[in-house]
Amino acid sequence: MNASSEAIHAHHRPVAETWGSGGEAYDRISFYISDALSHAAQRLNAQPGERVLDVATGTGWTARNVAAYGAQVTAVDIAQPLLTAAEALSRHVRPSIDFQLADAEQLPFENRRFDRVISTFGAMFAANHHAVARELGRVCKPGGRLVMSTWASEGAVKDFFAVIGQFSDAPVPQPSPLAWGDPTHVGALLGDDFELTIEAGTNHSYNDNVADIWAAYRRGFGPIRQLAQALSPARAEAFRAAVDAYHAQYRTDDGLIHIHRDYRIIIGQRR
């Protein structure tokens, strides 16, 4: 595994620290959205022996889904702790997965290297959308397929990040990562390189109570983990109350917390 921090742009290093802070515990967050991750892998439909790139792999959930098709998967991320966890969680997988430290805005691969490229709720968080789109097109072979899962530009995930934003001094990213959920924005980014189709989906996750959700996010979701550690005790308690209130709105009549988050599956055929 390439472990050089020089592979990561300077403006992404604080982001890498934030998202990586949850380490292997981030895998629980991926579990919560595993139906959407599976949707993306199924739409990629990798074939045995094909070379596939998974961009912003996190703890490797999507890389493992794709490897199950028999593909030769290379998986990259900007956060070394997540890659370390991904390797540990993926030791049993055959074909084995090649995990590398790399930035979605400057991928360390030659042109037209991969038969298929996938990114599930990952590359959308890179700062420079145009650079990401350029790189996704550059490394994909003509006739190859790109699949991205991105959160919808409005709805549950936007509201969730708004709760975090109420307690954070960090500037709001411009453009928003959620712009990847806008078909017009996606067309402007990827339309020159890919013939595009966009599908809608809804992620479903289930918990008995809001305390279980807080515990998982406090441990494994970097933006919440770091912010909760940085706040004063009183402010941290208010933050938890706000996160709990957000999740409580999804309580069903029988008391279950059933969260549903709209997303988009972007499918591109490389021209």
What pTM, to 2 d.p., does this model score? 0.97
Q: What is the pLDDT of residue 6?
A: 75
How many Å apart are CA 223 and CA 244, to the nearest integer?
A: 16
How many Å apart are CA 158 and CA 268, to the nearest integer?
A: 25
What average pLDDT does the segment 159-188 reach? 96
Q: Which two tokens stand for residue 21?
A: 């802070």
What are the pLDDT digits (tens) for 72-93?
Answer: 999 999 999 999 999 999 999 9
- Assess whether pLDDT exceeds 50 at residue 3: no
Q: Which two tokens stand for residue 84?
A: 């370390």
DSSP-derived 3-state class of residue 15: helix
What are the pLDDT digits (tens) for 119-159?
Answer: 999 999 999 999 999 999 999 999 999 999 999 999 999 99
What are the pLDDT digits (tens) for 45-77?
Answer: 999 999 999 999 999 999 999 999 999 999 999
Task: Give the confidence band of 5 by pLDDT, cuts at 50, 70, 90.
Answer: low
Give every strand in the sheet of 98-101, ordered side by side: 98-101, 72-77, 51-55, 114-120, 140-151, 257-270, 194-207
Which residue, 193, 218, 87, is CA-closest to 140?
193
Residues 6+ apart with CB under 8 A from 258: 204, 205, 206, 250, 251, 252
- Please count the helices (runs of H) and the strands (runs of E) in the chain: 11, 7
Query: What are the sequence ranges of the domains in the chain?
Result: 5-270
Q: What is the pLDDT of residue 4?
A: 54
Average pLDDT, the chain: 97
What average pLDDT does the segment 171-198 reach? 97
What are the pLDDT digits (tens) for 201-219?
Answer: 999 999 999 999 999 999 9
Query: Of 3.90.1200.10, 3.40.50.150, 3.30.559.10, 3.40.50.970, which CATH number belongs to 5-270?
Result: 3.40.50.150
- Looking at the chain, the whole-number percentage of residues with pLDDT higher than 90 is 96
98 pairs with which residues across the strands? 74
